[in-house]
């Protein structure tokens, strides 16, 4: 009996995930299997690869042939190097980034909101200062103060009229 280590497709359309299985090579892709030895989720970021190393080593030792895809996964996890007796069996697999807790996410959102409020207040005070400067009447303009009247008196009169 020719035994293969291959992928068994599961999941929905456009949302696949796979199980790494040991099966008779004459069986259907998703048919009966001898043993399930791992999982592969390619749609996650980074991809999830879980292999029961002891069982994979056993099946490789007794002659099960991995498909190209499974061989690539075993190289990533380091199981292939272990089987071949090569030096570095660590593999090149990188783990997923640690997810932030709900409290950390809330604290980050509060911090961002406070920063945006501060920025808005600074912009508002700058706009108020600019409008106050433009409200002052410049000498030589059409509404120049009368003789004997100061600029402050003209501004006060203009604000009283408004």
Q: How many structural domains does the chain have?
A: 1
Smallest Cα–Cα separation from 57: which of 80, 23, 73, 34? 80
Smallest Cα–Cα separation from 49: which of 11, 22, 75, 87? 75
The verdict on residue 46 lying in a domain is: yes
The verdict on residue 34 lying in a domain is: yes
CATH code, domain with 79: 3.30.1320.10
pLDDT > 90 in the chain, percent: 40
State pLDDT tens for residues 45-85.
888 999 999 999 999 999 999 999 999 999 999 999 998 88
The verdict on residue 7 lying in a domain is: yes
């Amino acid at each position: 009996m020719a035994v293969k280590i291959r992928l068994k497709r599961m999941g929905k359309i456009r949302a696949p995930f796979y199980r790494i299985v040991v099966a008779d090579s004459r069986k259907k892709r998703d048919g009966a299997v001898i043993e399930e030895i791992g999982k592969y989720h390619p749609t996650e970021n980074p991809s999830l690869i879980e292999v029961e190393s002891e069982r994979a080593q056993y099946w490789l030792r007794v002659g099960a042939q991995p498909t190209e895809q499974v061989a690539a996964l075993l190289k990533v996890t380091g199981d292939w190097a272990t089987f071949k007796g090569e030096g570095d069996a660590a593999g090149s697999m990188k783990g997923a980034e640690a997810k932030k807790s709900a409290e950390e996410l809330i604290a980050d959102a509060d911090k961002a909101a406070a920063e945006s409020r501060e920025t808005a207040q600074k912009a508002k005070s700058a706009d108020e200062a600019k409008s106050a400067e433009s409200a002052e009447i410049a000498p030589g303009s059409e509404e120049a103060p009368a003789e004997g009247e100061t600029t402050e008196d003209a501004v006060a009169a203009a604000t009283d009229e408004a």
